[in-house]
Amino acid sequence: MTELTIPGNLEGLTDSWLTEALRSNGVIQNANVTISRTDEIGAGTGLMGSLARLYLEYDTPEEGAPETLVVKLPTTSPENLMVALTLNFYQREVNFYRYAAPISKFRTPKTYYIDIDDSGQSFVLLLEDLGEAVVDQVEGGSGETSYKALMELARFHAQFAPMVQNDELDWALNSMDTDYVALNDALYRQSVEPALKNFESHFSPTTRKLALDLADKITPLMNAQVKEAYTLIHGDFRLDNLFMGRLPPREGFPETGLAVVDWQICCKAEGPFDLAYHLCNIDISIRREIEERVLKDYYEILVSNGVKNYPRDTFMIQYRRFILFSLLYSISIAGTLDLANERGVELARTYLDRTLAAIEDHRSYEVVPG
């Protein structure tokens, strides 16, 4: 078989290309595939990638051949592509599916085919179709949905913590890597003024001043992490990336439960980043209702599963700081996204409002590192 060229877009996903891709990993043996229908999915939710569901037909039946699958390719938005390439999102997701997904306690989509070029700019993922059980982030989900997901997240963090502490995940980016910190610093600086302009009415005088002042604090904020509490984090653990409910049958996993997608931002960092990020992405009233219980039970799961050298007082201070990380993310999104993407704008708006509310609730501006 000749080496396959990575498709540049959905139009490049031909029947012959898909046939060769599925044969290369033994998904099918001899059948030829026809793509009978292509539906773009996740409009405005996959800000950094393009997603589509492919409906497949075969000239001869083969056991285990998928009737549908999901393809993921780079975003078509130049603004969002710049962010994705600057922060190496595509290589990070490919690495997760190659090295971590096979051992993860989280259910993630089965991979049928993975490829990425040396530049990290062109990639393709052919993934299991998990159906329609995704939770809508803008609507905000329910408190019980978020609570269950965050307890599973705690177990995931506890699973990978010893691997990170023992330097077993050398493929994963370190969130305190000098170049990565510098990239985030630069991205925030270039995004903050456009974000304040695009969403001016959403800032109070206090949070506007904080957003401006934080431009000089991104590097110390990122470097203030407790490395003894490092684990593998998802990095984008919001409702739009969670499938909850009835899932396709798969050996080793219950048919009703949680599956997690979109691992572009995964890296080595403190687990409470994911915790704060998720809680800053749900409805404000729901966060306030479940937050105390979530923090208590999440921390207890970490400790009961062997995470050490992480006092509760330190955990709580870091949680407040990671709320500021959510502002870093929301400002970067609000200042660089394609404003023609209505769903993307709505996501950015709700994320920003919810993050700013959490900052004021927790007075996170009081724990900004010097």
Nearest Cα residue to 195 out of 6, 74, 351: 351
Residue whose structure tokens are 């089965």: 110
Residues 235 and 152 in one domain: yes
For 2, the token pair is 């000749």
Does the pLDDT of residue 24 top 70, yes or no?
yes
| Boundaries of domain holding 33 | 10-76+90-128
d(CA 240, CA 262): 9
Classify residue 50: in a domain, yes or no.
yes
d(CA 175, CA 282): 24
Are the CB atoms for 242 and 89 separated by under 8 Å?
no
**pLDDT, mean of residues 237-264:** 87
Q: Residue 186 maps to which CATH number? A: 3.90.1200.10
d(CA 358, CA 370): 21
Classify residue 358: in a domain, yes or no.
yes
DSSP secondary structure string for all residues of 300-337: HHHHHTT--S--HHHHHHHHHHHHHHHHHHHHHHHHHS
pLDDT, tens only, 314-341: 999 999 999 999 999 899 888 887 766 7
Classify residue 84: in a domain, yes or no.
no
Residues 306 and 158 in one domain: yes
Predicted TM-score (pTM) of this structure: 0.91
pLDDT, tens only, 7-18: 988 889 999 999
- pLDDT recorded at residue 142: 86
Classify residue 135: in a domain, yes or no.
no
Residues 192 and 160 in one domain: yes
Q: Residue 96 maps to which CATH number? A: 3.30.200
**pLDDT, mean of residues 127-156:** 84
- pLDDT recorded at residue 1: 45
Q: Of 75-89, 140-154, 288-302, where does mean pLDDT reach its minimum?
A: 75-89
Residues 180 and 322 in one domain: yes
DSSP secondary structure string for all residues of 137-194: TTTT--HHHHHHHHHHHHHHHHHHHHHHHTT--TTSPBTT-HHHHHHHHHHHHHHHHH
Q: Could you tell me the pLDDT band of residue 27, with boundaries at 50, 70 and 90?
A: very high
Q: Could you tell me the pLDDT band of residue 182, with boundaries at 50, 70 and 90?
A: very high
- pLDDT recorded at residue 347: 82
